[in-house]
Structure 1
Amino acid sequence: MELRQLEAFAAVMSTGSVTGAARLLARSQPAVSRLVQELEAEIGYALFTRHGPRVTPTEQGFLLYEDVDRALGSLQQIHLRAAEIARGNAQPLLLAATSALALGLLPRALRQMEAQAGTMPIQLRSASAEQVVHAVLSGAAQLGASSLPLEHRGLEVHWIGQMPCVAVLPQNDPLAALEVVPLEALAQRRIITMSNPFRLRHRLDATLARAGHSPARRDALIETNSSVNAQALARAGLGVAVLEPLTACGAPLEGLAVRPLDTDIPFVFGVVTPQAKPITAPVRALIDALLAAASELPHFVQHDVSAHAALLRTLYGGGDAAADEESIS
């Protein structure tokens, strides 16, 4: 494979046509077509189905694009870093975080850190929890902030925090008049929630089911991969969002009310770095600033990193809950 082939493939994927890719790359249309065809011959399968000047990615094309896009992005970072070294600039702080933590915690921490140490170049990428972990393990990020679990080999967990989920609903909703929203009141309401079944959603489903809102009622759910999306859906009157509290704190939307629930649904998150790499002074300062910023938020509880396994057993089952609670405390 050649870099030009990968760039041509990515450009066609982005623009949806060979003509558009040619304009984007400042190359001729035949040259782009030839590069894509050479790549297809190299890997042994078609990346696109052709419809005249337009193309449709094959399933294999979509799968390959994820890695190609990541590789080209890494190459672009190398180019930028090389230019920064030539200019004598400091290395940027490379961060990855789930959208909730990128919105509700990192801006506060970065402001606090820069107030003490001065400004510095920063690259912050918002991604899914799994992608945050991958970015840290692969070295694409020096620090990651994500929900639990974070027990992957190669990660160093620096601290773990916990906050209760909240109900987010339109200000004119009758439940917004309450200081605390009873979970039972949501039994007959349409719920807006996260789609990832292996993290916070697992606890949401279990808790709502105990309150009579069965996850089997698929018509009573709106699922999304973004808590910002969930807030927008709630503001449109499409349901009540049950969310972690950081998004509503970091990116509040006009017309919405945020209310605590009468039942604790814990959102548990942590800060990680690559285990095998030394921690730089800016990264260490940010780890401390993140903890300080989180500690200022309502109902924040810090857990020792040694409690990670016990927390997972308590949150997901599979152990003696009473013993786990004792070990967590």
Structure 2
Amino acid sequence: MNHDVIDIRWLEAFAAVMSAGSITGAARLLGRSQPVVTRQIQDLETDVGYLLFTRNGPRISPTPKAILFHAEVERLLMGLKHIRQRANAIGAGVLPVLSVAAIPALAAGFVPAALAALERELLPSQVHVQALSAENVVQSVLSQSVDFGLASLPVQHPGLDVQWVCQVPCVACLATDHPLAKKKVIRLKDLGGRRLLTMANPYRLRRRVDEALEREGVAAGEVIDTNSSLTAIAMAKQSLGIAIVEPVLTSSLPVEGVVTRSLDVSIPFLFAALSPTGRELTPTIAALNDALRAAVAMMRGAKLHAGSAALSEADDEADEAEKASS
């Protein structure tokens, strides 16, 4: 691979082809000719040293390497766009652009409320809110392509400053006509043989759910997993099963046709507020941080831990809560 900086026009062409699905569509998006885009893709492939697209006549398909590469290119191009907006804001003497990344539940559940709570003079004219996986939230904060992040644990990394950690017990979501909906508290043992709706990522909340079920000797009948708690709740509404999710969305965006019930066993959900190490919080980000912290503290059973030391402290407390409830 060439170790020089990759030509930004090649990356733009690549991103446009990935978005449009064709060279012709990409040329239209970019306002460039089709031969120019074709040559730029070829130059990029030569530079990186591997094929990005397979050709079958006029049709092209991205290679597996292209799909991985696209995530990096997309993040870079978004960062460059933000730099332009920040430069314009500095030149105009106005508030800089605010960029926030959060896991989907928090992006939909608490970020809007926190933004609405900011005083008018602290809210920039340009705000970017991205709903990403926890891993991508961490990477976005590390690369400083966003100013602030909210991600589920684990998030330990030397390039992150942890503002606070929140621990809150998971809940069960069921259709209003589900036989268990009449109960005020759902026992994990009641879930034996029933279809569960839960998270797919085995390294975060799913791990705690599986461990709790195993400790109680509960074997689910079937499992539907997803990367979004909102999707799990929507499936519960359609009577596809019982969702075990964090209470973020149910606290802020009640879904008609779905009831939320406590569990008899504590399954802690932990998430953290993150900023790049060494970067002082601006007045806007500090106010947003305070608003988010105040909002999440309103969840039933929520416990807040302050600072980076809170990571191990919250994890230890969560483990003890799980053991005690079982």
Given candidates 291, 295, 312, the residue that maps to 2:315 is: 312
What residue number does 1:200 align with?
205
Alpha-carbon shift at residue 178 of structure 1 (Å): 1.2
Q: Does the CA contact (< 8 Å) of 2:82 and 2:97 recur in 1?
A: no
Return the letter of the residue paired with 2:311: H
What residue number does 1:153 align with?
158
Q: Does the CA contact (< 8 Å) of 2:122 and 2:284 recur in 1?
A: no
Structure 1 CA distance, aligned partners of 2:77 and 2:46? 20
Residue-by-residue CA offset, 1:30-80 (whole Å, 9 max, x unaligned): 221111111112222111111122101111111211111111111111222
Residue-by-residue CA offset, 1:258-278 (whole Å, 9 max, x unaligned): 111111111112212122111
What residue number does 1:11 align with?
16
Going from structure 1 to structure 2, the CA distance change for 1:294 and 1:314 (only over 3 Å counts) comes to closer
Report the secondary structure of 1:95's partner residue.
strand
Q: Does the CA contact (< 8 Å) of 1:203 and 1:315 recur in 2?
A: no
Alpha-carbon shift at residue 224 of structure 1 (Å): 0.7
Q: Does the CA contact (< 8 Å) of 1:170 and 1:234 recur in 2?
A: yes
Return the letter of the residue paired with 1:300: A
What residue number does 1:165 align with?
170
Q: Does the CA contact (< 8 Å) of 1:19 and 1:53 recur in 2?
A: no
What are the residue-to-residue correspondences of 1:113-128 with 2, within 5 Å? 113-114=118-119, 119-121=123-125, 122-128=127-133
What residue number does 2:112 align with?
107
What residue number does 1:293 align with?
295
Alpha-carbon shift at residue 222 of structure 1 (Å): 0.8
Structure 2 CA distance, aligned partners of 1:69 and 1:149? 25
Q: Does the CA contact (< 8 Å) of 2:99 and 2:148 recur in 1?
A: yes
Report the number of matched residues: 316
Return the letter of the residue paired with 2:282: T
Return the letter of the residue paired with 1:206: E
Q: Does the CA contact (< 8 Å) of 2:115 and 2:123 recur in 1?
A: no
Return the letter of the residue paired with 2:186: V
Alpha-carbon shift at residue 112 of structure 1 (Å): 2.0
Q: Does the CA contact (< 8 Å) of 2:122 and 2:283 recur in 1?
A: no
What are the residue-to-residue correspondences of 1:15-26 with 2, within 5 Å? 15-26=20-31
Residue identity over aligned pairs, in percent, reads 44
Gaps of 5+ in 1: none
Where do 4+ consecutive residues of structure 1 move more than 6 Å?
none
Report the secondary structure of 1:185's partner residue.
helix
Given candidates 25, 32, 37, the residue that maps to 1:27 is: 32
Structure 1 CA distance, aligned partners of 2:11 and 2:123? 36
Return the letter of the residue paired with 2:292: L
Return the letter of the residue paired with 1:129: A
Gaps of 5+ in 2: 1-5
Return the letter of the residue paired with 2:312: A
What are the residue-to-residue correspondences of 1:1-329 with 2, within 5 Å? 1-114=6-119, 119-121=123-125, 122-214=127-219, 220-305=222-307, 306-313=309-316, 315=318
Structure 1 CA distance, aligned partners of 2:57 and 2:257? 48
Going from structure 1 to structure 2, the CA distance change for 1:101 and 1:55 (only over 3 Å counts) comes to same
Structure 1 CA distance, aligned partners of 2:147 and 2:88? 20
Return the letter of the residue paired with 1:203: R
Structure 1 CA distance, aligned partners of 2:128 and 2:97? 7
Going from structure 1 to structure 2, the CA distance change for 1:307 and 1:66 (only over 3 Å counts) comes to closer
RMSD: 2.1
Alpha-carbon shift at residue 87 of structure 1 (Å): 3.1
Alpha-carbon shift at residue 205 of structure 1 (Å): 0.4
Structure 2 CA distance, aligned partners of 1:45 and 1:25? 24
Going from structure 1 to structure 2, the CA distance change for 1:282 and 1:118 (only over 3 Å counts) comes to closer
Going from structure 1 to structure 2, the CA distance change for 1:192 and 1:23 (only over 3 Å counts) comes to same
Structure 2 CA distance, aligned partners of 1:93 and 1:80? 10
